[in-house]
Amino acid sequence: MRFPASLSLLALVLQEARQASLPEKERRRREEQPQAAGDSNAVLLPGDYALSLDNYDEVIDLGSYQELTDYGDQAPEVKGTSLAPPNGISSTQSTVAPRTPSSNATVTRPAMLGLPVSPTSHSLPTCLVCVCLGSSVYCDDADLESIPCLPQTTAYLYARFNSIRRIRARDFKGLTKLKKIDLSSNFISTIDDDALYLLPALQALILPENRLTALPRLPTGIEVLDVRLNLLQSSGIQPGAFRALEKLQFLYLADNLLDFIPGPLPLSLRSLHLQNNRIETMQKDTFCDPEEHKHTRRPLEDIRLDSNPINLSLFSSAYFCLPRLPIGRFS
């Protein structure tokens, strides 16, 4: 039959006409371009190529990729489900060409609004590990093992539920605006003697649920001291430790190992909690001066001595100056 032969001849004529219509340079380039066997897409024209996973690494030049963010030596850890690489790309082969650091390049740590960037136990700046809002720093449940470097403007620190074991003298150095420290539920057993004494603005020290056996020197302006649920012993409180605290109003020493009431107590005191200790006796001048019977301590209205082995009825002269009797056993 001549019909198929006619079609072949017609196709050949059309191909020759198309080649003839191309510019001379383009026709010569096509003739010189080698074609791989069985590869119909060896020569590509815009619009004729369909992107698929099989040719992903051929179409996109991954070697020219450059990172947009410079994290310095703090490359963020990416967690999640890993995706299978496209066909043609090995899972062990990096798809991003590594950058060669310049000898003149300066690597800086990211900072947030001028806040400190000294590394913590996470090797990250404090305000990336914690949350810094104004003058407050929130480091709750952040796996800290020590006090982080804090901004000089810090007034309130919350670092509860961590693994801090010691407060060093340098931890709060220069923080003249620090008003409140809350380190509840850590493992603190030691506080350097000068760690807190030089904080002129400190008003509240919150340290329950730690392992303290002794108290350090305290700043004179402190108003609230909470050391409940520790291992505090009477020998760990220096004689007259609370005398100079002329603004102290709330003293919480419950659930410790005290065997007597620490005194003398400041006249500013409003609440004293000593329940669940080992107190068996008290001095006659624990709350009142026996020589000054006219003196009445009206601010001190809340005294708790329950769950101690002391019989309060045996020491009635110790609290005749109080507006209310202590809570505890009187028989």
DSSP code per residue over 268-300: T--EEE--SS------TTTTS-TT-TT---TT-
Q: In Å, how far from its chain's centre is CA 132?
A: 10
- pLDDT value, residue 293: 57
Sign (positive/negative) of CA torsion 46, 95, 105, 128? positive
Q: Above 90 in pLDDT, residue 8?
A: no
Cα atoms in the Cβ-side hemisphere of radius 13 Å centred on 232: 29
Q: Above 60 in pLDDT, residue 224?
A: yes
Cα atoms in the Cβ-side hemisphere of radius 13 Å centred on 49: 16
Sign (positive/negative) of CA torsion 273, 276, 278, 283? positive
- Whole-model pTM: value is 0.64
Q: Above 80 in pLDDT, residue 176?
A: yes
Residue range 14-31: mean pLDDT, rounded: 55
Categorize the per-residue pLDDT at 297 as very low, low, confident or very high, splitting at 50, 70 and 90.
confident
Q: Above 80 in pLDDT, residue 32?
A: no
192-223: per-residue pLDDT in tens? 999 999 999 999 999 999 999 999 999 999 99
Which of these, 309, 300, 307, lies nearest to 318 by C-alpha position? 300
94-106: per-residue pLDDT in tens? 333 333 333 333 3
Measure the CA–CA gap between 293 and 287, rounded to whole angstroms: 12
Residue range 4-25: mean pLDDT, rounded: 56
Residue range 118-125: mean pLDDT, rounded: 50
Exposure class string for 33-55: b at 16+ Cβ within 10 A, else e: eeeeeeeeeeeeeeeeeeeeeee
Residue listed under structure tokens 């002129």: 200
Backbone angles phi, psi at 234, to 5 degrees: -60, -35
